[in-house]
Structure formats: C-alpha cells, structure tokens
Amino acid sequence: MSEATSRERGAGATGGEGLMRRDVGVLLATLVVVNATIGSGIFKTPSKVARLAGSLDASLGVWIAGGVIALCGALTLAELAASMPRTGGLYEFLRRAFGPRVAFLIGWTKLVLLIPSAVGSFGRLAAEAFGAALDLAPSTARDAIVSSLFVIGSCAVNLLGVRQNAKQQAVITAAKYAGVLALGVLGVFVPVAAGTVIAPPVDAPAFAATVTWTGCFAALVSVMWAYDGWAALASL
C-alpha cells in the first residue's frame, strides 16, 4: 500500500466518513429513490417510446431492457456507495477509477448541462399537470410562472437540510402513487356510463411502419430518461 493511499484512508476514517451524518434512514432513502426513479418521465414518454419502437411488443421489450440496465446500474452503485461512504456520488467513483480529469468532465457536464435541463423539464411537466388538473386552457406564460414556482419551492425545501428534503420527497411519493393507485382502482371497479364516447389522447402513438434496431435504440434513450434517478441516493 502506498503512502498516499494510507494517508487517504486515514483522512477518510477520521475526517471524512467519521464526520458524515446519517440523516436519511432506510425508509426515507427508499422513498427518495422511488420518487427519483419513477418520476415525471413515465407519464410523458410511453407514447414516444411506442412510436419509436414500432409495435406494442417492441415497446414492452424496450421497457424491460431499460429496467434491466437500470437495475444493474443501481446494484453496482449500491456496492460502490457501501464500500466508499463518501460524498460526491458518481464524481467520487469516477475519480477513484479514472482520475480527476474524467471525474471533473462528468461532474461539470452533469451540474452545468444535465441537471439544469432536467429540473427545467420537471418544472414544465408539473406546470402542465397543474393546468390539466384545474382544466385550464393552455398558457405558455402561466406555465412559465408555475414551473418557476415549483422549482423555487423545491430549492427552498432543499436548503432546510437533507432530512427535510427527504421527508418532502417521501410525502410527494406517497401522494403521487396513492393517486395512481386510486385511478387504477376506479378504472377496474367503476363502470363507464352507457353511451359514453372516450376520445383517444392527443399523444396516442402512431406506430412506425416497421420495427427497426435504430428505432428501438432511440426508444431506449427515452426509457432510460424515464428510469433515471437510481443514482441519486449515492450523492446525498
């Protein structure tokens, strides 16, 4: 073992891992990952995935493939986070594996490009859902204001601390999936009135002419975006 490695391990044990606060328990951590992984993407991407994949069977296959990839990634990061309990998440893992340059490049790309664009898309989807829930006419100006308020509110809760933010996400997770469960129960047990005409959704998929590998790989990009979030806990 080199002298540098010994110093790093000693510093980590006394000044790094030894001072880290365990503010998030197993239950809150589970709810945070569930909320991050099964977020807003699943409510917007299915029609796009079906259109790109070219058929219902191909679409289901792409979702299964994405789930397997996400599961492998989550299990891998769980092992890394357990063996290296330090802040930084992906940055720390990549730094240890490939050096500081690669870690900085990925960290910079994620913090400057990926996370801001993802937060903006989440705010926009939240604004659209808000307008649809209140049966309001589409309004770009209103959506911009509402999405900004959602983002500002989330940031304000984040500033209160890790545990407070985890509790907020736990409440959102419970409310979101209670609503999804209620819709499922109503769809099964509440019959549609006779003579009711149900119009297809405006984003109903128009399947591609044929199933192609190119289309399936393009659909997989949207699927992985919908599954994204399984790495979030390692950064807390």
Burial class (CB in 10 A: 0-12, 13-18, 19+), 221: middle
Model confidence over 58-99: pLDDT tens digits? 999 999 999 999 999 888 888 888 888 777 788 888 888 899
At residue 202, the pLDDT reads 56
Name 84's Cβ contacts closer than 8 Å, sequence gap at least 6: 92, 93, 96
At residue 39, the pLDDT reads 72
- Terminal CA-CA length for the chain: 29
Given a contact cutoff of 8 angstroms between Cβ atoms, the answer to whether 5 and 139 are in contact is no
Model confidence over 200-234: pLDDT tens digits? 555 555 665 678 888 899 999 989 888 888 877 77
At residue 10, the pLDDT reads 44
Residue spans of the domains in the chain: they are: 25-186+207-231
At residue 69, the pLDDT reads 93
Burial class (CB in 10 A: 0-12, 13-18, 19+), 216: buried
Model confidence over 10-39: pLDDT tens digits? 444 444 555 666 667 778 778 778 877 877
Neighbours of 45 (CB within 10 A): 20
Task: Please state, in angstroms and rounded to a whole number, the distance separating the CA atoms of residues 74 and 44.
Answer: 23
At residue 166, the pLDDT reads 79
**Predicted structure pTM score:** 0.69
- 4 pLDDT above the threshold of 60: no
pLDDT, averaged across the chain? 79
The tokens for 206 are: 């128009």
β strands within the chain, DSSP E:
none
What average pLDDT score do residues 182-201 get? 74
Model confidence over 138-181: pLDDT tens digits? 888 888 899 899 889 888 887 887 778 778 878 888 887 888 78
Name 126's Cβ contacts closer than 8 Å, sequence gap at least 6: 40, 146, 147, 150
